[in-house]
Amino acid sequence: MNGKVVVITGASSGIGRALAVEYAKRGASLSLAARRIDQLIELREQLTDSEILAIQTDVTSENACKELINKTVQHYGRIDVLINNAGLSMRALFDDIELSSFKRVMDVNFYGTVYCTKYALPYLISSKGSLVGIISVAGHVALPARSAYTASKFAMRGLLDTIRLENLYTGLHVLVAAPGFTASEIRTSALRADGTPQGETPRKEEKMMRSEDCALLVIRAIEHRKRSLVLTFAEGRLPLFFGKFFPLLLDRLTFRHMSKELDSPLHKKMARQRK
């Protein structure tokens, strides 16, 4: 990766931070984006063996995404990999969620990917580089009480698959990576129905895939120029199999699994249906 330039959004924590650490080990030059600039600066100070730009970026802003790409190109002269990793989750029934909260999730996950990809695409095509979207298994299998999150991840997959087709003969590589549940801050920052942060995770983080392991697998998939990556068997590849051949069974298993979360909104749904 010496001489290669990698842009990572949502790089202040979780999978994004782990990707930055792993790419720094490989000698890449990095352009790291997140809203929390203090955490990006702290990370830059730790990764002293790589050249790193830390750029405060709110991916819901088209101008901020354009500035991220422009600053990267002005500094490095090229972009070889763009990883759209910035993400926001939510947990509420569609019946209850405020539309402003739904829109916020779409703005971060989907439109953040649209904006960054739009402005980076000419440089990625020029370098025959890699365009990457970190979606989720929720981009393949619907998750109850995660309507906005699921919709945004399905939309990301559709967008990136289309861009791959449009660039079939340009040399552009497009990877859609779908981790299962991965230990990160995404569940603590997830929005409730009214748009306030959830504040605590409803799941056992220690039993999930580590962000570092996820990042390593994503980078290997980029190196091998794979088109898709679905991580974990039980929460990833197995549900896709059931969805293809036993869709009703998958619906029931998914509902049961998600209803086991602490204070799951699905309990409210079931109570309403009993009345």
| 85-121 residue pLDDT tens | 999 999 999 999 999 999 999 999 999 999 999 999 9
Residue 273 lies in a domain: no
DSSP for 41-83, written as a single string: HHHHHH-TTS-EEEEE--TT-HHHHHHHHHHHHHHHS--SEEE
Catalytic residues: 149
Q: Residue 258's pLDDT is what?
A: 82
Residue 260 lies in a domain: no
Task: Kindly tell me if the per-residue pLDDT of 233 is higher than 90.
Answer: no
Residue 259 lies in a domain: no
Residue 139 lies in a domain: yes
Mean of per-residue pLDDT scores for the chain: 90
147 contacts 97 by C-beta, under 8 angstroms: yes
Q: What are the structure tokens assigned to 150, written together?
A: 């699921």
What is the C-alpha to C-alpha distance for residues 233 and 248, in angstroms, rounded to an integer? 19
89 contacts 187 by C-beta, under 8 angstroms: yes
Whether the pTM exceeds 0.85: the reply is yes
Tally of domains within the chain? 1
Residue 269 lies in a domain: no
Tell me, what CATH number does 158's domain have?
A: 3.40.50.720
Amino acid, single-letter form, for residue 9: T
Task: Kindly tell me if the per-residue pLDDT of 73 is higher than 60.
Answer: yes
Domain that holds residue 85: 5-233
Residue 251 lies in a domain: no
Residue 246 lies in a domain: no
Percent of the residues in the chain that have a pLDDT greater than 90, as a whole number: 67
The 10s digit of each residue's pLDDT in 174-201 is 999 998 777 666 657 788 888 887 767 6
Question: What are the distances in angstroms from CA 273 to CA 146, 266, 268, 270?
Answer: 19, 11, 9, 5
Q: What are the structure tokens assigned to 110, written together?
A: 């989907």
The 10s digit of each residue's pLDDT in 205-217 is 566 678 899 999 9
What is the C-alpha to C-alpha distance for residues 35 and 55, in angstroms, rounded to an integer? 8
Amino acid, single-letter form, for residue 255: F
Residue 248 lies in a domain: no
Taking the alpha carbons at both ends of the chain, their separation in whole angstroms is 60
